Amino acid sequence: MSTEAGFAVLLVLLGIGALGGMVVMEVSRLGLLSARRALVQKRIEALRSETERARERAAQLDAAIERGQAQLAHLAAEVQRLASLLRTVEADRVELVHDLGAPDGRTAPFRCVLRTVPDFARLDQRHVVFSRDIWQRKNVAHVWADAPELAHALLLRAFPARSGVLAGAIERVAERVAERAAPPRPAPVPEAPDDTIPDAALVAA
Which whole number is the average pLDDT over 97-123?
85
Count: domains in the chain: 2
Report pLDDT digits (tens) over 153-204: 888 888 888 888 888 888 888 754 444 444 444 334 334 444 444 444 333 3
**Where does the pLDDT of residue 109 fall: very low under 50, low under 70, confident under 90, or very high at 90 and above?**
very high
| Last residue in a domain, options 93, 113, 144 | 93
- Whether residue 197 lies inside any domain: the answer is no
- Whether residue 187 lies inside any domain: the answer is no
Higher pLDDT residue, 189 or 139?
139
| Last residue in a domain, options 93, 126, 157 | 93
CA–CA gap between residue 28 and residue 58 (Å, rounded):
44
Average pLDDT, the chain: 77
**Contact in structure between 163 and 130 (CB atoms under 8 Å):** no
Which residues are registered as beta bridge partners of 143? 100, 110
Among 90-94, 98-102, 106-110, 191-195, whose mean pLDDT is lowest?
Answer: 191-195
Same domain, yes or no: 68 and 116: no
CA–CA gap between residue 138 and residue 108 (Å, rounded):
23
Same domain, yes or no: 138 and 87: no
- Whether residue 189 lies inside any domain: the answer is no
Same domain, yes or no: 98 and 36: no
Q: What is the pLDDT of residue 80?
A: 86
Q: What is the pLDDT of residue 7?
A: 66
CA–CA gap between residue 25 and residue 22 (Å, rounded):
5
CA–CA gap between residue 139 and residue 125 (Å, rounded):
18
- Whether residue 141 lies inside any domain: the answer is yes
Q: What is the pLDDT of residue 2?
A: 66
Cα–Cα distances in Å, from 199 out to 105, 158, 179?
21, 8, 18
Which whole number is the average pLDDT over 92-108?
79
Q: Provide the domain limits for residue 166.
A: 94-181
Report pLDDT digits (tens) over 55-96: 999 999 999 999 999 998 988 988 888 887 776 666 565 668
